[in-house]
Amino acid sequence: MSFADIIGQKEAKKLLKNAVKSGNHSHAYIFSGEKGSGKMMLAEAFATMLQCENPHEDACLECHSCKQSISRNNPDIIYVNRESGKANIGVDVVREQIVNDVSIKPYSNKYKIYIVDEAESMNQQAQNALLKTIEEPPEYAIIILLTANHNSFLQTILSRCVLIQMKPVDTESIKTILKTKCETVDYQANMVASFAQGNVGKAIALASDTSFNEVKNKIVSICKRASKMEELQISTEVNEIKEIRKAEDDADKKDDSPERFEGFINQMLDLITLWFKDVLLYKATLNDEYILFKEDSFDIHEQADRCSYYGLNQIIEAVNEARARLNANVNFELTIMLLINAIKENTR
């Protein structure tokens, strides 16, 4: 992994490269950003360049050290992870893998670099144990904490680390990555790139996620036909959506967390919002250029013709209401039925 492999994150890359070039680096960093935002890639690019035998503007990727770093076999880049099945990174893990290990000099490189993934899951004891190392690190030690939420760190940790916040990547760059690296077709790339809202990892995951496609097609079909759907049919389709999710859960037993369910619901509601935003956009501009659901432009035109601005805004409001209801744990079927009824009312 080198900085050249990372799209976006211009400022962070500049800051980290300069730190390597000038030798004026900090001993502790926090890379903060949501899942999929590229924290690990950035940490690995930084670590690879730090350990490189001939770094210039980036790691050389040719030297012995770079080769070890790329294959994740560099003995002086240590990955600290939550033990499987445990909710926290406990004090034992921090002591064993960092605090007691850091006094041993690097094996064959300039630095000894610790990359702690999901560092927000360090409990208070673990953070306190780490604090001593961050306060008085050996010259060669660099600790990089990766987190989705840097506010979960103790103030004492925060104040001693350089905080780097991951930035959303522009949609055009994400589209390019999807088309060139993931061979995603044009239409799909547009859709997924907009949907991922600047998160490259999320975009790549969605592009290859068949259940996302299935849910998307189902939602689009409901958005198109809601005005003609009978009560019974609506309820059947809601059940079908639930089945898609259930099949996905069965295929992936290890992650049936509430966060995952929430993610699924948000995905679904986001799709409905995007569809009606397309209808609004077309209604206002009579132009297809910026609409996402280009494949369905015929239906978008037809709905834009039939629906009022008021009605379309009512639908977008109804989606927000559904989100709030689901967050308040109101029954899934009931909430979705109410939402589809609102779509039905406002699209006839």
Task: Say whether residue 63 binds Zn ion (CB under 5 A).
Answer: yes
Binder to Zn ion among 19, 50, 52, 307 (CB under 5 A)? 52
Query: CA of 264: how far to CAs of 215, 249, 320, 341, in Å?
Result: 9, 11, 15, 21
Select from 4-12, 62-70, 122-130, 201-209 the region that touches Zn ion (CB under 5 A): 62-70
Task: Say whether residue 60 binds Zn ion (CB under 5 A).
Answer: yes
Nearer to Zn ion (CB atom), residue 49 or residue 94: 49
Select from 50-58, 113-121, 238-246, 328-336 the region that touches Zn ion (CB under 5 A): 50-58
Nearer to Zn ion (CB atom), residue 47 or residue 241: 47
Nearer to Zn ion (CB atom), residue 45 or residue 161: 45
Nearer to Zn ion (CB atom), residue 51 or residue 121: 51
Task: Say whether residue 66 binds Zn ion (CB under 5 A).
Answer: yes
CA distance 338 to 280: 21
Select from 65-73, 122-130, 301-309, 316-324 the region that touches Zn ion (CB under 5 A): 65-73
CA distance 178 to 94: 37
Residue 52 beta carbon to Zn ion: minimum distance, rounded to whole angstroms: 3
* Contact of 2 with 61, CB cutoff 8 Å: yes
Residue 39 beta carbon to Zn ion: minimum distance, rounded to whole angstroms: 22
CA distance 127 to 109: 27
What secondary structure letter does DSSP report for 57?
A: S
* Contact of 150 with 158, CB cutoff 8 Å: yes
Name residue, tokens 């080769």.
67
Name residue, tokens 């509601």.
269
Residue 326 beta carbon to Zn ion: minimum distance, rounded to whole angstroms: 50
Residue 61 beta carbon to Zn ion: minimum distance, rounded to whole angstroms: 6
Nearer to Zn ion (CB atom), residue 51 or residue 133: 51
Strand order in the sheet with 162-165: 77-80, 112-116, 141-147, 28-32, 162-165
Q: Which residues partner with 167 through β-bridges? A: none
Please report, as ranges, the residues that interact with Zn ion according to CB under 5 A. Answer: 52, 59-60, 63, 66
